[in-house]
C-alpha cells in the first residue's frame, strides 16, 4: 500500500516539474525576446537622461539632489528639440507602439488568470474542509478520532506531493508575472518624456517643451495626453515620500527625494483617468490628486504647444 503512495508521488512530482520546466522555458524565451529592446532602451536612457548614467544600469540609481542642476542641463537639449514639435516624435513612434504591449491590458489579463488560480485552490481547500466538517462530527460523548497512523513514506508523500504542486503553481505565476514585469519596466523607445515633481501637497508635470502643469488644477482642466503613445513620467520629490498612481493604467511607483523613479503607460482609447498619491505623506495625503484626459495626438500637440 505504501508503494502505491510512493508511485503516485513520483508521477505527480514528474508532472509538477514538467509544468515548471515549460513555464520557465516560456518566461526565458519571452525574456530573451524582450532583451534587445531593453538594451536599446537603456542606451537611449543613457544618452537622453545623461545624469542618469548609473540609472541605466540600476533602473533608478540614486541621483543625489546636488546633481539636480546637472540633471537640468542634461535635459536641456531635449527641451530644445521639443520646440520643433514633438509631433513627429509621437507619430514616428505610433507605428512601433502597435507592437508595444500595453501593460495595463497585460495586467488585466494576468489578474484574471490569477483569480482563476485562486478560486481553484481556494475551492478545493474549502470543499474538502466542509466535507470533513460535515462528515466527522462527534457521535458519542466518549468518541475519539480515528486518524490513520503515519509512517515515513506516507508523511513524505503528503509533504512532497503538495510541495511540488504548490511549487509548480508558484513558478507558473512567477513566470507570467515576470513576463508582464518586462513590459511594465522597459520603457518603449521614443516614449513621451514627462518630468514629475511631488511636494506637500501638489504634483507638477514638466513636458518636453517646458510646459509645467499642476496636478491640483488638473481636477478642473484635465492634463491632455496623446492616445496610443507610450508616456513615461520620471519623478522625484522635494520633501517626503509620495507615490504616483494611475489606477486605470494599473501602475504606481513611489516618488522620493534623492532618487528618480519612473512609471510608463499608454492608453488604447481616448478617455478620462485619475492619478493620485498612494504613499502616506501627511495631512493633505488624500488631497493630492488630479485628472488626465487622453486625446488624439494632433489635439494633444496643439494643446501642449499652447501651454509652453
Query: Between residue 164 and residue 223, which ones bind another protein under the rule CB under 8 A?
Result: 166-167, 169-171, 173-174, 177-178, 180-181, 184-185
Which helix (H) or strand (E) covers residue 2, if one does? helix 2-48
Q: Which residue in the set 91, 189, 248, 299 belongs to the binding site for another protein (CB under 8 A)? A: 248
Give the DSSP letter string of 94-123. HHHHHHS--HHHHHHHHHHHHHHHHHHHHH
Nearest residue (CB) to another protein, 36 versus 149: 149
* Binder of another protein out of 44, 46, 110, 308 (CB under 8 A): 110
Q: Which is nearer to another protein, 93 or 250 (CB)?
A: 250
CA distance 279 to 64: 21
Query: The C-alpha cell of 84 is what?
Result: 520643433
Closest separation between CB of residue 95 and another protein, Å?
Answer: 26
Q: Nearest approach, Cβ of 224 to another protein (angstroms)?
A: 19
Residue 79 or 254 having the CB closest to another protein: 254
Question: Is 297 in contact with 227 (CB distance < 8 Å)?
Answer: yes
Q: Which residue has the cell 504606481?
A: 252
If one asks whether residue 133 binds another protein (CB under 8 A), the answer comes out as yes
DSSP lists the bridge partners of residue 187 as none
In terms of Cβ atoms closer than 10 Å to its own Cβ (0-12, 13-18, 19+), residue 218 is buried
All three cell numbers of 48: 537622453
The count of residues interacting with another protein (CB under 8 A) is 85
The piece of 75-83, 203-211, 253-261, 293-301 that touches another protein (CB under 8 A) is 253-261
102 binds another protein (CB under 8 A): no
- Per CB under 8 A, contacts with another protein among 45-84 are 58-60, 62, 64-65
Report the alpha-carbon distance of residue 7 to residue 296 in Å, rounded.
62
| Whether the Cβ atoms of residue 215 and residue 205 lie closer than 8 Å to each other | yes
Nearest in space to 166 (alpha carbons), one of 130, 125, 108: 125
What is the footprint of another protein within residues 265-294 (CB under 8 A)? 274, 276-287, 289
CB of 190 to another protein, least distance (A): 21
* Stretch of 74-82, 144-152, 187-195, 220-228 contacting another protein, by CB under 8 A: 144-152
User: Residue 8 or residue 118: which is nearer to another protein going by CB?
Assistant: 118
Nearer to another protein, 41 or 208 (CB): 41
Angstrom CA distances, 21 to 8, 32, 110, 121, 161, stand at: 20, 16, 20, 21, 17
The reply to whether omega before 201 is within 30° of 0 (cis) is: yes
Name the residue among 91, 95, 99 with its Cα closest to residue 298: 91
Q: Considering beta carbons, is residue 88 or 122 the nearer one to another protein?
A: 122
The sign of the dihedral angle between the CA atoms of 10, 12, 16, 21 is positive
Min. distance of Cβ 73 from another protein in angstroms? 20
**Which span sits near another protein by CB under 8 A: 14-22, 93-101, 121-129, 206-214?**
121-129
Q: Identify which of residues 35 and 76 has a Cβ nearer to another protein in the complex.
A: 35
Amino acid at each position: 500500500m505504501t508503494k502505491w503512495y510512493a508511485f503516485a508521488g513520483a508521477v505527480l512530482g514528474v508532472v509538477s516539474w514538467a509544468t515548471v520546466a515549460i513555464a520557465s522555458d516560456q518566461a526565458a524565451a519571452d525574456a530573451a525576446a524582450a532583451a534587445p529592446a531593453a538594451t536599446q532602451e537603456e542606451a537611449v536612457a543613457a544618452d537622453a537622461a545623461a545624469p542618469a548614467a548609473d540609472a541605466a544600469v540600476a533602473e533608478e540609481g540614486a541621483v543625489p539632489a546636488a546633481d539636480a542642476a546637472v540633471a537640468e542641463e542634461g535635459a536641456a537639449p531635449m527641451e530644445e528639440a521639443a520646440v520643433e514639435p514633438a509631433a513627429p516624435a509621437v507619430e514616428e513612434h505610433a507605428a512601433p507602439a502597435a507592437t508595444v504591449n500595453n501593460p495595463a491590458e497585460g495586467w488585466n489579463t494576468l489578474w484574471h488568470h490569477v483569480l482563476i488560480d485562486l478560486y481553484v485552490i481556494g475551492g478545493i481547500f474549502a470543499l474538502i474542509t466542509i466535507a470533513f466538517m460535515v462528515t466527522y462530527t462527534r457521535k458519542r460523548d466518549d468518541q475519539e478520532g480515528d486518524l490513520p497512523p503515519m509512517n515515513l513514506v506516507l508523511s513524505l508523500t503528503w509533504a512532497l506531493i503538495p510541495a511540488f504542486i504548490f511549487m509548480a503553481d508558484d513558478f507558473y505565476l512567477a513566470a507570467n508575472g515576470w513576463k508582464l514585469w518586462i513590459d511594465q519596466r522597459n520603457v518603449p523607445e521614443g516614449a513621451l518624456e514627462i518630468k514629475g515633481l511631488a511636494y506637500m501637497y501638489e504634483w507638477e508635470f514638466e513636458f518636453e517643451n517646458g510646459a509645467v502643469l499642476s496636478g491640483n488644477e488638473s481636477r478642473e482642466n484635465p492634463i491632455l495626453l496623446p492616445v496610443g503613445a507610450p508616456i513615461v513620467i520620471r519623478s522625484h520629490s522635494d520633501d517626503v515620500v509620495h507615490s504616483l498612481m494611475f489606477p486605470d493604467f494599473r501602475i504606481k511607483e513611489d516618488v522620493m527625494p534623492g532618487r528618480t523613479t519612473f512609471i510608463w503607460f499608454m492608453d488604447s482609447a481616448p478617455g478620462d483617468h485619475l492619478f493620485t498619491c498612494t504613499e502616506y505623506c501627511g495631512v493633505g495625503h488624500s488631497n493630492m490628486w488630479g485628472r488626465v484626459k487622453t486625446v488624439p495626438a494632433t489635439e494633444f500637440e496643439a494643446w501642449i504647444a499652447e501651454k509652453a
